[in-house]
Amino acid sequence: MSFVLSSPILSPPGMRPTSAVRLSASMQQLLLAFIWLTFFLNGFVLKEPAPCDLFMIASIVILPLFGMVRFTLLHGLFFTAWMIVIAGGLIASGLHEYWPVSVRHMVISLYLALFSVVLAAFITLDPGKHLKIIWRGYMWGAIFAASAGIIGYFDLIPGSYELFTKYERARGTFKDPNVFGPFLVPAFLYCLHSLLTHGLRRGVIDLALMGLFLFSILMCFSRGAWFMFIIASASYVAIYFFAAPTNEQRFKTLLLSFAVLLSLCLVIAFAMQFESVQELWEVRASLSQNYDVGDSGRFAGHAKAAGIILENPLGIGALYFGYYYHHELPHNLYLSMFLTSGWVGGIVFLILMVTTLIFGFSILLKRTSWMHYHAIAFCSFFGLMLESYIIDSDHWRLLYILMGMIWGAYAALRIEEIHEDAEFKRRDLSSRSML
């Protein structure tokens, strides 16, 4: 038995590939297992480079090599935008003496961008099947990461506190609590969708996993992760509510959302019973910290970065702001991209982010068997996009994964629409010729 896959050629949406790569069923399953493992390993980033980086780099070569991608002009546009951003960063890297550090940063950006493009093409080939594989691997990685965070925070296993916490905050199997928390948000939305779809009777496991993810997000004490969680969850509930075909389902959505909100309050109340949690909560729940304000604070860094951007059209190179102008990076993705890649690269990056948001939103209400996977990616991206105003997320794997998912899904639907339009015209011409 064999399976025919599209060849990796760059063709306009709707054009059939001119050649095919034949894979046996066992080889196809092996490659899909490789992808599952790639996303599972994204939940284990205690050190960098992490094991998932090796798998992600390998997938950039393996997926096109075996024809498990479908490139279109949209993927070419996605690729071109990233190359402009990275080219700007490489040019700016040569403007200062710390260029080796900046170039290394841009090489990592290049790898992540290439992975995002290949991921998009992989999803476009078979969105329902491939998104399902991706999310299953991601979910298991999130379960292990969240469990490690809870085990470490309460030191349930000797030595786990030192391994799975940082600055008295849960970090799970991640280097940084600020990255750990946002990684769990899409996993929470995945369970939320299952709960809204199947209801409480079949949602016991969903509720248990939601509690695990929610408690871990709280225990990471990341205000950015909390903000992303609120935005993404509210967005998903709103989309699910308006997409519901009947008022009965809308009422059910509101009822279950209220139950989830009540559960959130109970989780917070339970966490507050621990003195260490209460003390850190009082500090972290404040809208402004001591490192946010003052001449050396985060927002002063924003203002300083904006001034430097206006004076340097070519940018100053990756990471140089933290070496020479300020004691840390800007903690703002968009300012960082202008500093790194100059005006052209920064503007192209802004266009890329906004275009991703528009593409993702434009297909949200399409009726497909896999649209819930896309909705989870879109709402998570929307939350991360807003959170990135207060954090440097330019090397977060999650950002590139979500963007790849959205572009891949959008391209798949565009191909389907073009095929349907061509088929309609063919039938129309056929019916006219019979008259």
Residues of the chain with pLDDT under 70: 1-21, 201, 283-296, 423-425, 428-435
Longest dimension (CA), the chain: 83
Please tell me the predicted confidence (pLDDT) of residue 73: 96
**What is the helix (H) or strand (E) element at residue 194, kind and residue range?**
helix 177-198
Antiparallel, parallel or unpaired: β 169-170 and 2-6: unpaired
How distant, in Å, are the alpha carbons of 78, 302, 320 from that of 325? 32, 12, 8
- What does the angle CA 394 – CA 395 – CA 396 come to, to the nearest 5 degrees? 100
User: Which pLDDT tens digit goes with each residue over 11-48?
Assistant: 444 444 434 467 888 999 999 999 999 999 999 999 99
Cα gap 379→315, rounded to integer Å: 31
Q: Which two tokens stand for residue 37?
A: 């493992």
Contact 60, 88 (CB under 8 A): no
**DSSP code, position 3:** E
Is the dihedral angle over the CA atoms 288, 291, 293, 298 positive or is it negative? negative
How distant, in Å, are the alpha carbons of 79, 256, 342 from that of 317? 21, 48, 8
N residues, the chain: 435
3-state secondary structure of 386: helix
Contact 179, 227 (CB under 8 A): no
Query: End-to-end distance of the chain based on CA atoms, in angstroms?
Result: 44
Q: Can you give the residue ranges of every domain in the chain? A: 32-41+49-285+314-420
Neighbours of 17 (CB within 10 A): 16
Amino acid at 142: A
Please tell me the predicted confidence (pLDDT) of residue 389: 95
Rounded to the nearest 10 degrees, how much is the dihedral formed by the CA atoms of 247, 372, 12, 346?
Answer: 100
- What does the angle CA 179 – CA 185 – CA 187 come to, to the nearest 5 degrees? 115
- Report residue 207 CA to chain centroid gap: 23
Q: Does pTM surpass 0.75?
A: yes
Contact 90, 103 (CB under 8 A): yes
Q: Which two tokens stand for residue 228?
A: 């992303």
- What does the angle CA 128 – CA 130 – CA 135 come to, to the nearest 5 degrees? 95
> pLDDT averaged over the chain?
89
Contact 306, 319 (CB under 8 A): no
- CA nearest neighbour of 334 among 353, 316, 320: 353
Q: Which two tokens stand for residue 363?
A: 């297909």
**What is the helix (H) or strand (E) element at residue 134, kind and residue range?**
helix 127-153
- Tokens 């004691």 locate to 327
Q: Within a 13 Å sphere around the CA of 99, how many CA atoms are in the beta-carbon half?
A: 8
Q: Which two tokens stand for residue 294?
A: 């003052």
Cα gap 253→249, rounded to integer Å: 6
3-state secondary structure of 147: helix
* Dihedrals phi, psi of 15, to nearest 5 degrees: -80, 135
ω into 313 cis (within 30 of 0): no
Contact 163, 145 (CB under 8 A): no
- CA nearest neighbour of 166 among 157, 179, 147: 179
User: 25-40 and 127-153 helices cross at what angle (nearest 10)?
Assistant: 30
- Tokens 């709707």 locate to 14
User: Which pLDDT tens digit goes with each residue over 173-192?
Assistant: 999 999 999 999 999 999 99
Contact 161, 109 (CB under 8 A): no
